[in-house]
Every structure is written in C-alpha cells, then in structure tokens.
C-alpha cells in the first residue's frame, strides 16, 4: 500500500490560472453614498448595481479582493438551501417554502444570464449535478424530490437507479442518485476577477488591504473608521460573510465561520477521468457532512471538498481525511498525488438561510452557508436595490429578520469540532442503518 503523500501547495488550485490581482491603491475618499465592507462576490455585485445607478461607492477589503471564500470555493453553482423542503414547509408554510425554492431557480438563472450578458470569461459549464444516495430509502426520498422539482418548478431533474449509476460516476459507493441539470460549474477565481473588472469599469472604487475597523452613526449617515483613516458614508453595506471580524460585532455574534477544505489531484489520464466522471458533472452527496467534488474545468483532475473541523494552523489530518474519502470513492486513485490542498471559511447562521437584513440602518448581505456562488451575487444585487429604495427590484424571499443570537458565542467557535464530529457520527449511524 502506498503511503498517502501530503499536498504540495497550500494555496487554491484556482490561483494558478487566476492569481489575486489587487487594483492599484486609490486615495481615501472623504464622502461616499455607499461604503461596502468586503469585496467578494456579494460586495462587488452590490457595488456594480449601485455604481451603474450613479451612486459613489467604494468597497473596502481587509485582504486582497477575493482572498476570502470567493476565490477558494468549489465553483459549483448549486444555490442550495440547507433546510430541506419539508423543514422549510414546517417553519414557514408551503407557500413560502416553494417561494424560497423558486428563488433558487431564479438566482441560478440570474447568474447564468449575468455571466453571458457581461461576457465574463469564467469557464462556466452547464454540465449538471449528480447527488449520490447512501441508502435505498434515501434514494427513494431523493427521487421524490427530483420529481417535485421537475413538476412544480420545471427544473430538469431525475432519478438515476443504482443499476445505471456508472453512466454518471465511476463508483459503487452510492445506492443510486439524482441529477439536476440546472446546476453547473465555473472557475471561481476567474469569476471573481471578471466581476472585479466589470465593477471597476462601472465606477466602483476598490480598496485592497484596507480593513474597516469600526462603523459609527454620524447624524443621518455613518462615520466609518478604516485602517488608513475615516470615511463619511450615507449608507453602509456589510458583505463580510465567513470573514466577519470585530468591526461588525452584531453580525459576528450571529454567524459561525466554518472551514471548508478542497484537495486537487495531479493531472489524471484522460481514460481514467472518463471512467470516474463520464459526464464531467458536479457531484454531491446526501450526508450531513458529505463531500462535494468535480472535475477541474479542463477535465484533467478531480477537486474534492468537505468540512474541516480544524480551527487554527493548517494541520495535515483534514487533508488526509479528504484524501482517504477520495480513495474510498475511487480505489483506483490509491496512489494519486495531490497538487493542492487549501481551505476557506463559509458562514453558518442558526437557521441556515442566506439573507439580507437591516440593523441600526446598516444593511447586511450574508449567511450563504457554503452556497454563495449563486446566492452572494443574487443577495448582493438585491441589497443594492434595497439601499436605493427600489422596492420592486429589492423584493426577495430572503429579506429576513437578523439571524438569531448564538448563546455563549462572541466570535470564537469553540464548539465547532464537537458539532462536526456529532454530524459525522449521525452520518455513520444513517449509513449503518441503510446497509442493514
């Protein structure tokens, strides 16, 4: 047996083709219509809409723009909502539950249309997504969901029985699965770079490596203290998601940053890729802490991601866990070398629903729960309209109350390793039950 080798690069595979390129430093503005905190997908999407409507707008980022989750993610355009349809119905009633699901469809279509009309070169591939079931009962339930999505929302979704699974994926681990053709993949760092390009050309000023330190009320507007000086802004939009820090304490106590990690394999032989991923689809699983994986846009390697329960440093164990998971799925990859392994933060709130909300005059666009490739541009765009008082365009099922307060939590998620282990245990029990 080959000893697993540790990955060579700790930076995202995506940065090879699209390295972070911060825009040139600009002088600090004195007054702004809108100041945006965070220049990931959400902040830039909002800024773009505001600038095109003639607002003076600047986005400040503590790191290089995109250095947060927006250039680290898997690029899967899932637009999923964590609570399943039954839970949403229980919480909000059937009408609102369906509105939320329908908005996922609208948000994906918005993204695809945006990429096309703006000419964003981000290797978007509408290849579909396969979701693997770990047991026959789960498969039946997932098949019913696919049927409902097809019937109620007109989404091309269907079940794939175990006997036909290998047409979609070269593993026998699942007991069948479902396919959704409304989901695809893009190159996340190229998408961010292109979004940055159009935001800048539309008139958004982006200040890299300029953290916002605090936000204070000042008459009818705000006085925002940045690391290089104060700025007066009529309005403030917070788009800090999984990187929220002490500058926005209200949000920090309501949002839990969770590490998500991705490994990339070295280039694989074309015949092997065709055997393992015959349709080059995006893949996900029906586990609480399952894997998500995909071929690289050039179809030459596999990128596999999952939760990482570490909180400090860059320990080896989470990389090995993903690597072992990859080999369980595809035993042929037992001796494969990894080229990259990296992590970034996703942001979870208590009800696991993304949202726009307002608190003390500040607008927040946040809580994407690991699905922000679709949600962040959509929610960012709606937040911009909300700031401009465009009621019709701002309307969304995700204009919510603030996320619930998390008891005994001030921004240090000490409980995370225990939580993730509990979910993994629940997955193991479900797997054991399914195999009986």
Q: Check: CB of residue 325 under 8 Å from CB of residue 134.
A: no
Of 128, 132, 129, nearest to 177 by C-alpha is 132
215 membership: H or E segment, kind and range: strand 212-218
| 284 in contact with ligand FAD (CB under 6 A) | no
| 43 in contact with ligand FAD (CB under 6 A) | yes
Binding mask 381-400 for ligand FAD (x = CB under 6 A): --------------------
Window 185-224: residues binding ligand FAD (CB under 6 A): 211-212
Select 33 or 61, whichever has its Cβ closest to ligand FAD.
Answer: 61
Burial class (CB in 10 A: 0-12, 13-18, 19+), 409: middle
Which residues are 263's β-sheet partners?
A: 304, 341
Select 78 or 138, whichever has its Cβ closest to ligand FAD.
Answer: 78
Which own/partner contact pairs does 159-167 have at CB distance under 8 Å and 24+ positions apart? 160/130, 162/136, 165/132, 166/278, 167/278, 167/279
Of 423, 374, 431, nearest to 398 by C-alpha is 374
| 427 in contact with ligand FAD (CB under 6 A) | no
33 membership: H or E segment, kind and range: strand 31-37
- In the block, tokens 């608190």 appear at 359
| 62 in contact with ligand FAD (CB under 6 A) | yes
CB of 284 to ligand FAD, least distance (A): 9
CB of 64 to ligand FAD, least distance (A): 8
Q: How many helices (H) and strands (E) does the chain have?
A: 12, 16
CB of 376 to ligand FAD, least distance (A): 4
Which residues are 207's β-sheet partners?
A: 60
Window 295-354: residues binding ligand FAD (CB under 6 A): 305, 343-346
Residue in 14, 134, 293, 368 binding ligand FAD, rule: CB under 6 A: 368
Residue by residue, DSSP assigns 175-196 as S-EEEETT--B--HHHHHHHHH
Select 139 or 292, whichever has its Cβ closest to ligand FAD.
Answer: 292
Number of C-alpha atoms within 13 angstroms, CB side, residue 411? Answer: 12
Residue in 18, 34, 35, 40 binding ligand FAD, rule: CB under 6 A: 40
Residue in 14, 60, 222, 357 binding ligand FAD, rule: CB under 6 A: 60
CB of 21 to ligand FAD, least distance (A): 14
* Spatial distance between the Cα atoms of 18 and 38, rounded to a whole number of angstroms: 19
Residue in 103, 371, 384, 396 binding ligand FAD, rule: CB under 6 A: 371
* Spatial distance between the Cα atoms of 418 and 42, rounded to a whole number of angstroms: 30
213 membership: H or E segment, kind and range: strand 212-218
Select 40 or 176, whichever has its Cβ closest to ligand FAD.
Answer: 40
- Start-end of H helices in 208-280: 249-252, 270-276
Residue nearest to ligand FAD (CB): 372
Binding mask 254-283 for ligand FAD (x = CB under 6 A): ------x-x---------------------
CB of 270 to ligand FAD, least distance (A): 24
Binding mask 78-97 for ligand FAD (x = CB under 6 A): x-------------------
Select 40 or 403, whichever has its Cβ closest to ligand FAD.
Answer: 40
Q: Which residues bind ligand FAD (CB under 6 A)?
A: 37-38, 40-43, 60-63, 67-70, 72-76, 78, 211-212, 239-245, 247, 260, 262, 292, 305, 343-346, 368, 370-374, 376
């Amino acid at each position: 047996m080959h000893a697993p080798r540790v990955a060579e690069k700790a930076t995202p595979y995506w940065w090879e083709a699209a390295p972070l390129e911060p825009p040139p430093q600009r002088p600090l503005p004195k007054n702004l219509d809108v100041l945006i905190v965070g220049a990931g997908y959400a902040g830039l999407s909002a800024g773009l809409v505001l600038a095109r409507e003639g607002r003076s707008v600047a986005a400040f980022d503590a790191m290089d723009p995109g250095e947060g989750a927006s250039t680290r993610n898997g690029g899967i355009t899932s637009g999923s909502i964590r609570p399943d349809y039954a839970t949403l119905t229980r919480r909000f009633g059937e009408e609102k539950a369906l509105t939320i699901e329908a908005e996922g469809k609208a948000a994906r279509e918005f993204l695809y249309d945006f990429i096309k009309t703006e000419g964003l070169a981000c290797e978007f591939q509408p290849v579909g997504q396969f979701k693997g079931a770990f047991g026959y009962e789960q498969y039946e339930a997932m098949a019913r969901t696919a049927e409902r999505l097809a019937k109620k929302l007109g989404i091309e979704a269907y079940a794939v029985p175990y006997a036909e699974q290998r047409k979609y994926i070269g593993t026998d681990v699942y007991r069948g699965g479902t396919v959704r053709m409304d989901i695809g993949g893009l190159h996340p760092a190229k998408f961010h770079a292109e979004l940055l390009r159009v935001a800048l050309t539309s008139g958004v000023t982006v200040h890299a490596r300029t953290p916002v330190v605090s936000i204070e009320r000042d008459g009818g507007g705000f006085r925002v203290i940045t690391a290089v000086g104060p700025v007066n802004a009529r309005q403030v939009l917070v788009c800090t998601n999984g990187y929220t820090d002490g500058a926005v304490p209200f949000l920090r106590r309501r949002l839990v940053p969770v590490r998500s990690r991705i490994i990339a394999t070295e280039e694989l032989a074309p015949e092997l890729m065709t055997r393992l991923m015959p349709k080059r689809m995006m893949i996900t699983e029906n586990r609480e802490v399952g894997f998500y994986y995909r071929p690289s846009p050039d179809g030459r390697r596999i990128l596999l991601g999952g939760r990482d329960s570490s909180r400090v440093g860059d320990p080896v164990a989470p990389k090995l866990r993903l690597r072992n998971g990859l080999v369980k799925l595809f035993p042929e990859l037992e001796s494969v070398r990894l080229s990259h392994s990296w992590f970034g933060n996703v942001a979870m709130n208590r009800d696991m629903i993304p949202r726009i909300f307002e608190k003390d005059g500040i607008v927040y666009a946040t809580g994407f729960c690991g699905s922000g490739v679709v949600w962040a541009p959509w929610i960012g765009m709606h937040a911009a309209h909300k700031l401009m008082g465009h009621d019709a365009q701002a309307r969304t099922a995700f204009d919510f109350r603030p996320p619930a307060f998390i008891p005994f939590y001030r921004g240090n998620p000490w409980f995370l390793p225990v939580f993730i282990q509990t979910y993994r245990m629940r997955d193991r029990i479900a797997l054991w039950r399914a195999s009986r």
